[in-house]
């Protein structure tokens, strides 16, 4: 018993007096450990990742088209393998994905899409207010309303979406919705349209007029040089009440950038014509109130190309 206690004491003493390896002494280990820990804290191990940028509409269309083409190539390769009697009919996704250098088609994305595990549109529907089918129906309805002369504004679109969902969309949702569909939707100002003209300007009436004109031209054997199209336009001497796109020059320090508007409501009517074959056009006619007209109104060859009436 005494011998065993003595051996245990010697072993404990040996552990206490054993020297640490070079570079790992007690004091040095704490200093080195603290320095290394400080270095790890001060210097990041990995570089900060840049924020992920969303794809632009043009890039999304390119990605969708390339992915569809890659799936088609996978189907063709599988067909070739089946006809050749190969035991493995799975296409080579890596080789097909490398054929698209844009980087939009990866091996994993292609494999999951081809196997039906990934649906791009269905995945996007999870993060959208409206599904893809609902957005397509909304676009069709907007285009139909515009065709009949009753276009919707942002306010009308937001109200219609609220009736579908039961809650109002965000204040910027309509703007983002229009930006997502630049090929089918566009914001623009609308000009006034007479209801009578809107009611009569239908496909049936246009086709009927075209058939009647063709029948008359064929029956009477009228050449294109005797077919004219005429129209009239009114010009206000005072500039009218509509705002123009013309810009004016002001002093840089001016705050009130205003321009006087004329109260002259007199009008001049211009009649212009064009020939079906583009030649021998009837000179333009100008109808205005009698009076002394300024010579600056006329171009040098105005008298040869127009007729003036008062």
Q: Which residue has the higher pLDDT, 141 or 193?
A: 141
pLDDT, residue 31, reads 44
Helix-helix angle 154-165:132-147, to 10 degrees: 140
Average pLDDT over residues 42-53: 51
pLDDT, residue 116, reads 72
Model confidence at 304: pLDDT above 60: no
Rg of the chain over all Cα atoms, to the nearest angstrom: 40
Q: What is the pTM of this model?
A: 0.42
Q: Could you give the C-alpha distances from 251 to 254, 259, 261, in angstroms and in order?
A: 5, 13, 20
pLDDT band at 268 (very low <50, low <70, confident <90, very high): confident
Q: Tell me the average pLDDT of the chain.
A: 75
> Which of 93-107, 211-225, 248-262 is least confident?
248-262
pLDDT, residue 159, reads 92
pLDDT, residue 40, reads 46
Average pLDDT over residues 176-203: 82
Assign 3-class secondary structure to the chain: CHHHHHHHHHHHHHHHHCCCCCCCCHHHHHHHHHHHHHHHHHCCCCCCCCCCCCCCHHHHHHHHHHHHHHHHHHHHHHHHHHHHCCCCCCCCHHHHHHCCCCCCCCHHHHHHHHCCCCCHHHHHHCCCCCCHHHHHHHHHHHHHHHHCCCCCCHHHHHHHHHHHHCCCCCCCHHHHHHHHCCCCCCCCCCCCCCHHHHHHCCHHHHHHHHHHHHHHHHHHCCCHHHCEEEEEEEEECCCCCCCCCCCCCCCCCCCCCCCCCCCCCCEEEEEEEEECCCCCCCCEEEECCCCCCCHHHCCCCHHHHEEEEC
Give the chain's end-to-end CA distance (angstroms, integer). Answer: 141
pLDDT band at 250 (very low <50, low <70, confident <90, very high): confident
Domain ranges of the chain: 58-118, 125-180, 226-242+262-309
Backbone angles phi, psi at 86, to 5 degrees: -75, 145
* Rounded Cα distance, 271 and 281, in Å: 12
> Which of 108-117, 153-162, 245-254 is least confident?
245-254
Q: Which residue has the higher pLDDT, 183 or 8?
A: 183
Average pLDDT over residues 286-297: 64
Instruction: Dump pLDDT digits (tens) for 16-38.
Output: 444 544 444 444 444 444 444 44
Model confidence at 108: pLDDT above 80: yes
pLDDT band at 122 (very low <50, low <70, confident <90, very high): low
Instruction: Dump pLDDT digits (tens) for 59-92.
Output: 888 888 888 888 889 888 888 888 888 888 888 8
On whether the CB atoms of residues 266 and 238 are closer than 8 A, the answer is yes
On whether the CB atoms of residues 78 and 118 are closer than 8 A, the answer is no
């Amino acid at each position: 018993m005494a011998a065993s206690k003595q051996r245990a004491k010697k072993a404990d003493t040996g552990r206490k007096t054993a020297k640490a390896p070079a570079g790992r002494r007690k004091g040095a280990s704490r200093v080195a450990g603290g320095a290394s820990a400080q270095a790890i804290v001060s210097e990041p191990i990995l570089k900060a990742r840049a924020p992920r940028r969303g794809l632009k509409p043009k890039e999304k269309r390119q990605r969708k088209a390339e992915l569809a083409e890659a799936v088609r190539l996978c189907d063709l390769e599988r067909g070739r393998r089946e006809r050749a009697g190969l035991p493995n009919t799975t296409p080579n996704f890596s080789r097909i994905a490398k054929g698209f250098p844009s980087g939009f088609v990866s091996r994993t994305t292609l494999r999951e899409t081809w196997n039906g595990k990934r649906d791009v549109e269905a995945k996007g529907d999870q993060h959208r207010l409206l599904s893809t089918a609902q957005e397509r129906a909304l676009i069709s309805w907007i285009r139909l309303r515009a065709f009949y002369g009753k276009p919707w504004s942002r306010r009308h679109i937001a109200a219609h979406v609220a009736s579908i969902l039961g809650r109002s969309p965000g204040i910027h949702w309509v703007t983002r919705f229009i930006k997502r569909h630049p090929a089918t939707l566009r914001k623009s100002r609308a000009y006034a349209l007479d209801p009578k003209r809107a009611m009569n300007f239908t496909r049936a009436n246009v086709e009927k007029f075209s058939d009647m004109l063709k029948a008359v031209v064929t029956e009477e054997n009228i050449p294109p040089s005797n077919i004219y199209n005429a129209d009239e336009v009114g010009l206000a001497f005072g500039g009218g009440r509509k705002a123009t796109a013309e810009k004016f020059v002001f002093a840089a320090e001016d705050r009130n950038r205003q321009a006087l508007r004329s109260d002259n409501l007199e009008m001049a009517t211009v009649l212009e014509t064009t020939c079906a074959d583009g030649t021998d056009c009837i000179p333009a006619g100008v109808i205005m109130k009698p009076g002394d007209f300024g010579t600056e109104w006329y171009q040098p060859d105005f008298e040869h190309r127009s007729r003036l009436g008062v």
